[in-house]
Structure 1
Amino acid sequence: MKYKVIDGHNDTLLNYMDETSDFDFLKESDAGHLDLIRAQKSGFSGGFFAIFTPNPVSPPSISEFLTEKGYQVPLPDPISSSYAQLHTNKVLAKMLKLEKDSQQQFIIVRSEKEMRDCLNKNVIGGIIHMEGAEAIDLDFNSLYVYHQAGLRSLGPVWSRANNFGEGVPYHFPASPDTGPGLTEKGKQLIRLCNELGVMIDLSHMNEKGFWDTARLSTQPLVATHSNAHKLCPITRNLTDKQLDAIKESNGVVGVTFCANMLRTDGRMDLSAPLEAITDHIHYIADRIGVEHIALGSDFDGCTIPDVIKDVTGVPKLLDQLLRESWTEADIAKLTHLNWLRVLKETGI
């Protein structure tokens, strides 16, 4: 059975910014994790396409800090708003052109209704997401411009500091309570996103920033690509208390396929089995209910276990859940219904 999947996070647009690559989302490829043809074959019906600005110089990798006890990777350096805006505008233009060139096979989605229509018409719906708000100026003029262009989801921070807060570094084993919370401008950003109907993504936010957002936001709390800290105590994963707050807000957690956020040892080991993913799905569903869990792969943004490999491995994961006693009704909530509900309740 082919399931209709809305995915909480991918970084596939980054592939367009690699000048050494001839990547074309509209053509099938062995490169990367996601393209139109593989998506259609796999039931991938849409998702949150991240616009992310990398540091000018690539930050160090986890392997450079790995010890027998784990790792503590420092935060990358902050980037300037002007640098982030230049990159963001280029990626946004690529996405708009992709929609034009796709002959109605890929649609930029600006509402819950449009996403639902994409599922019914078997076309790919792309929600514009900004991962790290460095491209947003302190007067918030650019926020309104990006919203008009289609921005419907925003992570105020990636794993570095900016004008709005400080992201969580990659530490293992460690608590997500790693630094200061939202700045005053960050709190203002949350309020403006609520007014505009822009979903706030808590993934990459440290614990203080999470609770600042929980106190301020009138929307469901959402972590688009995070897992259970209880099973994998990396700073990027969510504690039980955070999971409970997401439930209380009627929000959702998108379980990510990142190897080092799945494994109990926090290692970037590609041999992780399907059960490493389903264990997190079961844990979060048992803790806060199947109405509050979804998928958030992080395709093209992290190291995916070989058992999944790319988007074509998602049906294998869902079949595994069926074998582990999940019903088709529960899988429908996991794959798309919970995302549709949160989009609607956010005002999108």
Structure 2
Amino acid sequence: MQAVFDGHNDVLLRLWENRNKGEDPVKEFIEGTTQGHIDLPRSRKGGLAGGLCAIYIPNPATGETIFDEPDSNGHYDTPLAAPLDRTYSFDIASEFIDIAYKLERAGGWKICRTGQDIDNAIADGDFAAVLHMEGCEALDKDLKALELFYQAGLRSLGPVWSRHNIFGHGVPFSYPMSPDTAPGLTDAGKELIKACNSLGILIDLSHITEKGFWDVAKLSNQPLIASHSNAHALTPVARNLTDKQLDAIAESNGLVGLNYVTTMLRADGQVNTATPMSDMVRHIDYLVKKVGIDGVALGSDYDGGPIPEGITDAAGTQNLVQALREAGYGEDDLAKICRENWLRVLRSAWHEHH
């Protein structure tokens, strides 16, 4: 079994939503549930050794319509989610972090801040959780709260989710659509990138507009990372990466994490869990061709959207590894795709020398 360190999940969102309904998040994660994709028993079964766990702020009023109903051509153009209030976002981010530490205290996982922490957690059989902020609505424009989140263990952030904020612009969930949908970083966003470079916080480019991607490429001294995005050439949703973006990621020794959500994988961009594993392999093959074997990893988006029924949840993680094995990937290459490439770029962003 290849241990997998995965670039993106929304397990904290599910635990937070269920806690608001009166459930116990610690019990749900440690003892297991039939809901969603990730808990400890299913992660162990599937060799999911850890990953970047998103702090994502849902819209308080409406929830989010992620995918509009497609028209007769199968096209859809989902309106962007509305911007969020800062104070509300800060409170919710604090609640996510509260759950993360309650889980650590109960032995459910280890919150990792360094590559060594991740190595140790995996060696000890602990789930290696890295805190990631998906969209920075909880931060103020002067970044006075960034240090607080950093001290709480935040080691990765995406300036935007698929909505606009004070730092930049996000892409909609639309098909077919170019990622060049809106402006890029604001001045505050540029300061955020500089602060992440100096503190050692990974910058994630999934969800940002194409202009925002190039703004980061110009400013950042880190490898370019898109933690849960696929190839636009194969699935032309606005969330996927153009060949030009993939070339830039390759040039920076960066990384792309394969997103398992079916809308990001299927040629027709639709929500349909009867999506064959071959669609996942096709994207990996294409990404490897464009970025190289050292720049392709996994970014499942577990608990963030509908995934192929051949995987179902974290317990089925090795089904993808096996499909890649059958497609001709050897164990050394699989080790890179499953965890080593993520560890390399995290160490680089975190100013570690290994």
TM bin, normalised by shorter chain, reads: over 0.9
Contact between 1:15 and 1:21, CA under 8 Å: does it hold in 2? Answer: no
Q: 1:173 — aligned with what?
A: 176
Q: 1:40 — aligned with what?
A: 44
Task: Answer yes or no: is 1:317 the counterpart of 2:320.
Answer: yes
Instruction: Provide the identity percentage.
Output: 45
Give the whole-Å Cα distance in 1 for the aligned partners of 2:308 and 2:276. 7
Give the whole-Å Cα distance in 2 for the aligned partners of 1:69 and 1:51. 32
Give the whole-Å Cα distance in 2 for the aligned partners of 1:141 and 1:27. 38
**Aligned amino acid, residue 266 of structure 1:** G
Give the whole-Å Cα distance in 1 for the aligned partners of 2:276 and 2:116. 36
- Residue 73 of structure 1 deviates from its aligned partner by 0.7
User: Closer, same or farther in 2 for the Cα pair 1:200/1:31, shift >3 Å?
Assistant: same
Contact between 2:131 and 2:153, CA under 8 Å: does it hold in 1? Answer: yes
Q: 1:336 — aligned with what?
A: 339
Give the whole-Å Cα distance in 2 for the aligned partners of 1:138 and 1:81. 10
1:288-330 Cα deviation digits (max 9, x unpaired):
2110000000000111111111011111111111111110000
Q: 1:20 — aligned with what?
A: 21
RMSD of aligned C-alpha atoms?
1.1
Matches within 5 A, 1:269-284: 269-284=272-287
Q: Secondary structure at the match of 2:132?
A: strand
Contact between 2:6 and 2:298, CA under 8 Å: does it hold in 1? Answer: yes
Q: Secondary structure at the match of 1:25?
A: helix
- Residue 331 of structure 1 deviates from its aligned partner by 0.2
Task: Answer yes or no: is 1:94 the counterpart of 2:132.
Answer: no
- Residue 69 of structure 1 deviates from its aligned partner by 4.8
Contact between 1:173 and 1:234, CA under 8 Å: does it hold in 2? Answer: yes
Give the whole-Å Cα distance in 2 for the aligned partners of 1:67 and 1:214. 38
**Aligned amino acid, residue 5 of structure 1:** V
Q: 2:150 — aligned with what?
A: 147
Give the whole-Å Cα distance in 1 for the aligned partners of 2:205 and 2:126. 28
Of 162, 177, 181, the residue aligned with 2:165 is 162
Give the whole-Å Cα distance in 1 for the aligned partners of 2:324 and 2:142. 47
1:174-232 Cα deviation digits (max 9, x unpaired):
11000001000000000000000000000000100000000000001100000000000
- Structure 1 unmatched runs, 5+: none
Q: 1:79 — aligned with what?
A: 84
- Residue 21 of structure 1 deviates from its aligned partner by 6.1
Larger displacement relative to structure 2 (308-317 or 222-231) = 308-317
Give the whole-Å Cα distance in 2 for the aligned partners of 1:299 and 1:146. 23
- Structure 2 unmatched runs, 5+: none
1:11-55 Cα deviation digits (max 9, x unpaired):
000122222363511112211100011111211111000000011
Q: 1:267 — aligned with what?
A: 270
Contact between 1:65 and 1:73, CA under 8 Å: does it hold in 2? Answer: no
Q: 1:137 — aligned with what?
A: 140
- Residue 257 of structure 1 deviates from its aligned partner by 0.3
Give the whole-Å Cα distance in 2 for the aligned partners of 1:34 and 1:220. 28
What TM-score results when the alignment is normalised by the length of structure 2? 0.95
Larger displacement relative to structure 2 (27-36 or 186-195) = 27-36
Task: Answer yes or no: is 1:303 the counterpart of 2:306.
Answer: yes
1:225-250 Cα deviation digits (max 9, x unpaired):
00000000000000011001011111
Of 212, 215, 222, the residue aligned with 2:215 is 212
Give the whole-Å Cα distance in 1 for the aligned partners of 2:115 and 2:270. 37
Paired residues, number: 345
- Residue 123 of structure 1 deviates from its aligned partner by 1.2
Contact between 1:220 and 1:246, CA under 8 Å: does it hold in 2? Answer: yes
Give the whole-Å Cα distance in 2 for the aligned partners of 1:60 and 1:108. 31
- Residue 65 of structure 1 deviates from its aligned partner by 5.0
Larger displacement relative to structure 2 (151-160 or 13-22) = 13-22
Q: Secondary structure at the match of 2:29?
A: coil
